[in-house]
A and B are shown apart, each in its own frame.
Chain A
Amino acid sequence: MHIMEGFLPVKHAIGWSVVSAPVVACGLYAINKKIKEQPEHRMLLGVAAAFTFVLSALKLPSVTGSCSHPTGTGLGAILFGSAAMAPIGAVVLLFQAILLAHGGLTTLGANIFSMAIVGPLAAAAIFRMAKTAKLPFGISVFLAASLGDLLTYVTTSAQLALAFPDPVGGFAASFAKFAAVFAVTQIPLAISEGLLTVVVFNALARFNPQELKEMNVVTVQGA
Protein backbone atom coordinates (compact mmCIF):
# COMPACT_ATOMS: atom_id res chain seq x y z
CA MET A 1 0.00 0.00 0.00
CA HIS A 2 3.02 2.23 -0.01
CA ILE A 3 2.63 4.92 -2.60
CA MET A 4 6.15 5.38 -3.85
CA GLU A 5 8.27 8.46 -3.39
CA GLY A 6 7.28 11.22 -5.77
CA PHE A 7 4.34 9.31 -7.17
CA LEU A 8 1.69 11.68 -5.87
CA PRO A 9 1.30 15.09 -7.49
CA VAL A 10 2.51 17.92 -5.22
CA LYS A 11 -0.99 19.13 -4.34
CA HIS A 12 -2.09 15.67 -3.28
CA ALA A 13 1.10 15.06 -1.32
CA ILE A 14 0.61 18.28 0.63
CA GLY A 15 -3.12 17.70 1.04
CA TRP A 16 -2.74 14.27 2.61
CA SER A 17 0.04 15.51 4.88
CA VAL A 18 -2.17 18.33 6.10
CA VAL A 19 -4.96 15.85 6.81
CA SER A 20 -2.73 13.32 8.56
CA ALA A 21 -0.54 15.58 10.69
CA PRO A 22 -3.19 16.67 13.22
CA VAL A 23 -4.39 13.08 13.63
CA VAL A 24 -0.86 11.96 14.45
CA ALA A 25 -0.61 14.82 16.95
CA CYS A 26 -3.93 13.81 18.53
CA GLY A 27 -2.67 10.24 18.68
CA LEU A 28 0.46 11.29 20.55
CA TYR A 29 -1.69 13.17 23.02
CA ALA A 30 -3.98 10.14 23.43
CA ILE A 31 -1.01 7.81 24.01
CA ASN A 32 0.51 10.15 26.59
CA LYS A 33 -2.76 10.36 28.44
CA LYS A 34 -3.27 6.60 28.45
CA ILE A 35 0.26 5.91 29.65
CA LYS A 36 -0.05 8.50 32.40
CA GLU A 37 -3.27 6.89 33.59
CA GLN A 38 -1.98 3.34 33.41
CA PRO A 39 1.83 3.26 33.14
CA GLU A 40 1.79 -0.53 33.34
CA HIS A 41 0.31 -0.65 29.84
CA ARG A 42 3.45 0.80 28.33
CA MET A 43 4.75 -2.65 27.48
CA LEU A 44 1.54 -3.54 25.67
CA LEU A 45 1.86 -0.40 23.61
CA GLY A 46 5.29 -1.69 22.66
CA VAL A 47 3.70 -4.97 21.62
CA ALA A 48 1.22 -3.12 19.40
CA ALA A 49 4.10 -1.25 17.76
CA ALA A 50 6.19 -4.40 17.45
CA PHE A 51 3.30 -6.25 15.81
CA THR A 52 3.00 -3.50 13.20
CA PHE A 53 6.76 -3.69 12.65
CA VAL A 54 6.68 -7.42 12.03
CA LEU A 55 3.59 -7.58 9.88
CA SER A 56 4.44 -4.66 7.66
CA ALA A 57 7.84 -6.24 6.97
CA LEU A 58 6.33 -9.53 5.87
CA LYS A 59 5.83 -9.49 2.15
CA LEU A 60 3.61 -12.42 1.45
CA PRO A 61 2.71 -13.98 -1.87
CA SER A 62 -0.90 -13.75 -2.94
CA VAL A 63 -3.11 -15.63 -5.36
CA THR A 64 -2.85 -12.80 -7.88
CA GLY A 65 0.82 -13.59 -8.41
CA SER A 66 2.09 -10.51 -6.69
CA CYS A 67 3.37 -9.79 -3.21
CA SER A 68 2.10 -7.43 -0.60
CA HIS A 69 2.22 -7.09 3.15
CA PRO A 70 -0.28 -6.90 6.00
CA THR A 71 -0.37 -3.78 8.17
CA GLY A 72 -0.64 -5.07 11.73
CA THR A 73 -2.52 -2.01 12.93
CA GLY A 74 -5.67 -3.82 14.03
CA LEU A 75 -4.13 -5.18 17.22
CA GLY A 76 -3.18 -1.79 18.59
CA ALA A 77 -6.43 -0.21 17.44
CA ILE A 78 -8.43 -2.77 19.43
CA LEU A 79 -6.20 -2.39 22.50
CA PHE A 80 -5.59 1.36 22.58
CA GLY A 81 -8.17 2.86 20.24
CA SER A 82 -7.59 4.05 16.72
CA ALA A 83 -5.94 7.37 17.58
CA ALA A 84 -3.00 5.68 19.26
CA MET A 85 -2.09 3.84 16.08
CA ALA A 86 -1.58 7.00 14.02
CA PRO A 87 1.83 7.88 15.50
CA ILE A 88 2.88 4.22 15.69
CA GLY A 89 2.04 3.65 12.04
CA ALA A 90 3.79 6.90 11.20
CA VAL A 91 7.01 5.67 12.84
CA VAL A 92 6.93 2.41 10.87
CA LEU A 93 6.24 4.24 7.61
CA LEU A 94 9.02 6.73 8.33
CA PHE A 95 11.46 3.88 9.01
CA GLN A 96 10.57 2.27 5.71
CA ALA A 97 10.58 5.54 3.78
CA ILE A 98 14.01 6.61 5.00
CA LEU A 99 15.94 3.36 5.28
CA LEU A 100 14.24 1.18 2.70
CA ALA A 101 13.11 3.64 0.04
CA HIS A 102 9.80 1.87 0.51
CA GLY A 103 7.06 4.45 0.42
CA GLY A 104 8.44 7.97 0.67
CA LEU A 105 8.63 11.26 2.48
CA THR A 106 6.45 13.11 -0.03
CA THR A 107 3.87 10.31 0.13
CA LEU A 108 4.21 9.83 3.88
CA GLY A 109 1.04 11.79 4.63
CA ALA A 110 -1.03 9.74 2.21
CA ASN A 111 0.45 6.47 3.45
CA ILE A 112 -0.16 7.46 7.08
CA PHE A 113 -3.74 8.27 6.16
CA SER A 114 -4.42 4.82 4.70
CA MET A 115 -2.39 2.60 7.02
CA ALA A 116 -2.29 4.47 10.31
CA ILE A 117 -5.63 6.31 10.26
CA VAL A 118 -8.28 4.62 8.10
CA GLY A 119 -7.19 1.04 8.88
CA PRO A 120 -7.15 1.45 12.69
CA LEU A 121 -10.34 3.55 12.62
CA ALA A 122 -12.13 0.79 10.72
CA ALA A 123 -10.68 -1.93 12.94
CA ALA A 124 -11.72 -0.20 16.17
CA ALA A 125 -15.21 0.56 14.84
CA ILE A 126 -15.77 -2.96 13.52
CA PHE A 127 -14.55 -4.44 16.80
CA ARG A 128 -16.98 -2.28 18.76
CA MET A 129 -19.87 -3.19 16.46
CA ALA A 130 -19.05 -6.89 16.66
CA LYS A 131 -18.89 -6.65 20.44
CA THR A 132 -22.26 -4.91 20.55
CA ALA A 133 -23.66 -7.62 18.30
CA LYS A 134 -22.34 -10.11 20.90
CA LEU A 135 -20.21 -11.99 18.40
CA PRO A 136 -17.62 -14.31 19.96
CA PHE A 137 -14.41 -12.54 20.94
CA GLY A 138 -12.21 -14.33 18.40
CA ILE A 139 -14.55 -13.60 15.52
CA SER A 140 -14.77 -9.93 16.49
CA VAL A 141 -10.97 -9.63 16.55
CA PHE A 142 -10.65 -11.44 13.25
CA LEU A 143 -13.23 -9.26 11.49
CA ALA A 144 -11.75 -6.05 12.88
CA ALA A 145 -8.15 -6.83 11.97
CA SER A 146 -8.78 -8.30 8.53
CA LEU A 147 -11.28 -5.68 7.38
CA GLY A 148 -9.08 -2.88 8.75
CA ASP A 149 -6.20 -4.30 6.70
CA LEU A 150 -8.33 -4.56 3.55
CA LEU A 151 -9.74 -1.05 3.94
CA THR A 152 -6.21 0.33 4.17
CA TYR A 153 -5.56 -0.97 0.68
CA VAL A 154 -8.93 0.21 -0.61
CA THR A 155 -7.98 3.66 0.69
CA THR A 156 -4.65 3.56 -1.14
CA SER A 157 -6.48 2.65 -4.33
CA ALA A 158 -8.84 5.58 -3.85
CA GLN A 159 -5.95 7.97 -3.16
CA LEU A 160 -4.19 6.92 -6.35
CA ALA A 161 -7.42 7.09 -8.34
CA LEU A 162 -7.98 10.64 -7.08
CA ALA A 163 -4.50 11.61 -8.17
CA PHE A 164 -4.63 9.77 -11.48
CA PRO A 165 -8.21 9.66 -12.75
CA ASP A 166 -8.65 7.65 -15.91
CA PRO A 167 -8.79 9.93 -18.99
CA VAL A 168 -11.92 8.10 -20.15
CA GLY A 169 -13.66 6.59 -17.13
CA GLY A 170 -12.54 9.14 -14.53
CA PHE A 171 -12.17 8.29 -10.87
CA ALA A 172 -14.29 5.12 -10.96
CA ALA A 173 -12.41 3.43 -13.80
CA SER A 174 -9.08 4.36 -12.29
CA PHE A 175 -10.16 3.16 -8.84
CA ALA A 176 -11.15 -0.20 -10.34
CA LYS A 177 -7.68 -0.55 -11.86
CA PHE A 178 -5.80 0.29 -8.67
CA ALA A 179 -8.14 -1.80 -6.54
CA ALA A 180 -7.49 -4.76 -8.86
CA VAL A 181 -3.80 -4.43 -8.00
CA PHE A 182 -4.06 -3.66 -4.30
CA ALA A 183 -7.33 -4.82 -2.82
CA VAL A 184 -7.62 -8.16 -4.62
CA THR A 185 -4.02 -9.10 -3.82
CA GLN A 186 -4.72 -8.14 -0.24
CA ILE A 187 -7.68 -10.44 0.41
CA PRO A 188 -5.70 -13.55 1.46
CA LEU A 189 -3.21 -11.37 3.34
CA ALA A 190 -6.02 -9.65 5.21
CA ILE A 191 -7.25 -13.08 6.27
CA SER A 192 -3.72 -13.93 7.45
CA GLU A 193 -3.53 -10.71 9.43
CA GLY A 194 -6.91 -11.45 11.02
CA LEU A 195 -5.77 -14.92 12.04
CA LEU A 196 -2.43 -13.70 13.44
CA THR A 197 -4.18 -10.98 15.44
CA VAL A 198 -6.44 -13.62 16.95
CA VAL A 199 -3.34 -15.67 17.85
CA VAL A 200 -1.90 -12.72 19.78
CA PHE A 201 -5.22 -11.98 21.48
CA ASN A 202 -5.55 -15.63 22.51
CA ALA A 203 -2.16 -15.41 24.17
CA LEU A 204 -3.05 -12.11 25.84
CA ALA A 205 -6.38 -13.49 27.05
CA ARG A 206 -4.56 -16.41 28.61
CA PHE A 207 -1.59 -14.66 30.20
CA ASN A 208 -2.73 -11.05 30.57
CA PRO A 209 -6.46 -11.20 31.31
CA GLN A 210 -6.09 -8.39 33.83
CA GLU A 211 -4.79 -5.93 31.23
CA LEU A 212 -7.48 -6.80 28.72
CA LYS A 213 -10.13 -6.22 31.34
CA GLU A 214 -8.63 -2.88 32.37
CA MET A 215 -8.59 -1.79 28.75
CA ASN A 216 -12.24 -2.74 28.26
CA VAL A 217 -11.33 -5.11 25.47
CA VAL A 218 -13.09 -8.04 27.08
CA THR A 219 -16.20 -7.71 29.16
CA VAL A 220 -15.91 -9.57 32.44
CA GLN A 221 -16.07 -13.28 31.73
CA GLY A 222 -15.45 -14.79 35.11
CA ALA A 223 -11.76 -15.44 34.43
Chain B
Amino acid sequence: MKRYQNLLLMIAVVVLAAVPLRMLEKPAPGPDGKVVEIFKGADDQAKNVIHEIAPGYRPWFKPLMAPPGEEINTLFFTLQAALGAGFIGYYLGMSVTRARMRRELDKEAEC
Protein backbone atom coordinates (compact mmCIF):
# COMPACT_ATOMS: atom_id res chain seq x y z
CA MET B 1 0.00 0.00 0.00
CA LYS B 2 2.72 2.41 1.04
CA ARG B 3 4.55 1.60 -2.15
CA TYR B 4 1.67 2.59 -4.39
CA GLN B 5 0.37 5.42 -2.23
CA ASN B 6 1.89 8.23 -4.26
CA LEU B 7 0.71 6.73 -7.53
CA LEU B 8 -2.82 6.40 -6.14
CA LEU B 9 -2.76 9.96 -4.80
CA MET B 10 -1.68 11.32 -8.16
CA ILE B 11 -4.38 9.36 -9.94
CA ALA B 12 -6.88 10.87 -7.49
CA VAL B 13 -5.70 14.37 -8.41
CA VAL B 14 -6.13 13.67 -12.12
CA VAL B 15 -9.60 12.25 -11.50
CA LEU B 16 -10.54 15.32 -9.43
CA ALA B 17 -9.58 17.54 -12.35
CA ALA B 18 -11.13 15.32 -15.01
CA VAL B 19 -14.53 14.79 -13.39
CA PRO B 20 -15.74 18.38 -13.77
CA LEU B 21 -14.60 18.35 -17.38
CA ARG B 22 -16.78 15.33 -18.13
CA MET B 23 -19.61 16.26 -15.81
CA LEU B 24 -20.38 19.73 -17.09
CA GLU B 25 -21.49 20.25 -20.62
CA LYS B 26 -21.06 23.35 -22.60
CA PRO B 27 -24.45 25.04 -22.71
CA ALA B 28 -25.90 25.71 -26.15
CA PRO B 29 -25.40 29.25 -27.47
CA GLY B 30 -28.05 31.59 -26.11
CA PRO B 31 -30.77 33.21 -28.23
CA ASP B 32 -28.38 36.04 -29.07
CA GLY B 33 -26.08 33.51 -30.69
CA LYS B 34 -23.30 34.22 -28.20
CA VAL B 35 -21.23 31.19 -27.32
CA VAL B 36 -21.34 30.55 -23.60
CA GLU B 37 -17.91 29.97 -22.18
CA ILE B 38 -17.43 27.62 -19.29
CA PHE B 39 -14.45 27.11 -17.01
CA LYS B 40 -13.67 30.78 -16.92
CA GLY B 41 -11.42 32.01 -14.14
CA ALA B 42 -13.00 32.49 -10.73
CA ASP B 43 -11.17 35.84 -10.55
CA ASP B 44 -13.18 37.01 -13.55
CA GLN B 45 -16.41 35.90 -11.97
CA ALA B 46 -15.54 37.84 -8.84
CA LYS B 47 -15.24 40.89 -11.07
CA ASN B 48 -18.80 40.30 -12.24
CA VAL B 49 -20.00 40.06 -8.65
CA ILE B 50 -18.31 43.39 -7.91
CA HIS B 51 -20.09 44.95 -10.89
CA GLU B 52 -23.35 43.54 -9.59
CA ILE B 53 -22.90 44.87 -6.04
CA ALA B 54 -21.30 48.19 -6.92
CA PRO B 55 -22.27 49.00 -10.52
CA GLY B 56 -20.60 52.39 -10.26
CA TYR B 57 -17.17 51.11 -9.27
CA ARG B 58 -14.39 51.70 -11.75
CA PRO B 59 -10.93 50.19 -11.24
CA TRP B 60 -8.55 53.03 -10.49
CA PHE B 61 -5.36 51.40 -11.65
CA LYS B 62 -4.51 49.45 -14.76
CA PRO B 63 -1.94 46.65 -14.99
CA LEU B 64 1.39 48.14 -16.02
CA MET B 65 2.01 45.39 -18.47
CA ALA B 66 -0.48 42.92 -19.83
CA PRO B 67 0.50 39.93 -21.91
CA PRO B 68 -0.27 40.90 -25.51
CA GLY B 69 -2.41 37.85 -26.09
CA GLU B 70 -3.91 34.65 -24.79
CA GLU B 71 -1.01 32.61 -26.15
CA ILE B 72 1.61 34.77 -24.47
CA ASN B 73 -0.35 34.53 -21.27
CA THR B 74 -0.18 30.75 -21.54
CA LEU B 75 3.54 31.01 -22.19
CA PHE B 76 4.14 32.82 -18.91
CA PHE B 77 1.99 30.43 -16.92
CA THR B 78 3.77 27.48 -18.47
CA LEU B 79 7.11 29.10 -17.74
CA GLN B 80 6.13 29.56 -14.11
CA ALA B 81 5.07 25.93 -13.76
CA ALA B 82 8.09 24.64 -15.67
CA LEU B 83 10.54 26.55 -13.48
CA GLY B 84 8.95 25.17 -10.35
CA ALA B 85 8.62 21.62 -11.63
CA GLY B 86 12.20 21.66 -12.91
CA PHE B 87 13.58 22.61 -9.53
CA ILE B 88 11.49 20.03 -7.67
CA GLY B 89 12.61 17.36 -10.15
CA TYR B 90 16.25 18.34 -9.68
CA TYR B 91 15.97 18.17 -5.90
CA LEU B 92 14.16 14.82 -5.96
CA GLY B 93 16.72 13.34 -8.31
CA MET B 94 19.52 14.57 -6.12
CA SER B 95 17.85 13.18 -2.98
CA VAL B 96 17.21 9.78 -4.54
CA THR B 97 20.82 9.43 -5.64
CA ARG B 98 22.13 10.64 -2.31
CA ALA B 99 19.95 8.19 -0.40
CA ARG B 100 21.18 5.34 -2.63
CA MET B 101 24.83 6.30 -2.21
CA ARG B 102 24.40 6.47 1.56
CA ARG B 103 22.92 2.99 1.56
CA GLU B 104 25.82 1.67 -0.48
CA LEU B 105 28.30 3.30 1.86
CA ASP B 106 26.60 1.71 4.83
CA LYS B 107 26.74 -1.66 3.11
CA GLU B 108 30.45 -1.29 2.44
CA ALA B 109 31.04 -0.32 6.04
CA GLU B 110 29.32 -3.47 7.17
CA CYS B 111 31.56 -5.74 5.08
Contacts and interface: CB of A to CB of B under 8 A. Distances in A.
Interface of A: 1-7, 9-10, 43-44, 46-47, 49-63, 65-68, 92, 95-102, 104-106, 138, 156, 160, 164-167, 174, 177-178, 181-182, 185-186, 188-189, 191-192, 195-196, 198-200, 202-204, 206-208
Contacts of A195: 9-10, 12-13, 16
Interface string B66-87: 1100000100111011011111
Interface of B: 5-6, 9-10, 12-13, 16-17, 19-21, 23-24, 38-43, 45-47, 49-50, 52-54, 57, 59-67, 73, 76-78, 80-81, 83-88, 91-92, 94-96, 98-99
A100 B67 contact: yes
Chain B contact residues: over half helix, strand or loop, or mixed?
helix
Given A99-B65, A199-B9, A164 B50 contact: yes
30 contacts: A4-B47, A6-B59, A9-B60, A50-B84, A53-B83, A54-B88, A56-B80, A57-B77, A59-B41, A60-B17, A61-B39, A67-B39, A100-B67, A101-B66, A102-B43, A105-B61, A160-B46, A160-B49, A164-B50, A164-B54, A177-B53, A188-B16, A192-B16, A195-B9, A195-B16, A199-B6, A199-B10, A203-B95, A208-B95, A208-B99
A57 B91 contact: no
Nearest to B88: A50
A47 B91 contact: yes
Given A100-B76, A178-B46, A203-B6, A63 B19 contact: yes
A67 B91 contact: no
A105 B42 CA distance: 19
Given A65-B39, A195-B9, A99 B76 contact: yes
Contacts of B63: 5, 97, 101, 104
Given A95-B80, A207-B99, A105 B64 contact: yes
Contacts of A47: 87-88, 91
Nearest to A195: B9
Nearest to A5: B63
Chain A contact residues: over half helix, strand or loop, or mixed?
helix
A65 B46 contact: no
B6 A66 contact: no
Contacts of A96: 80
A6 B64 CA distance: 11
Contacts of A51: 84, 88
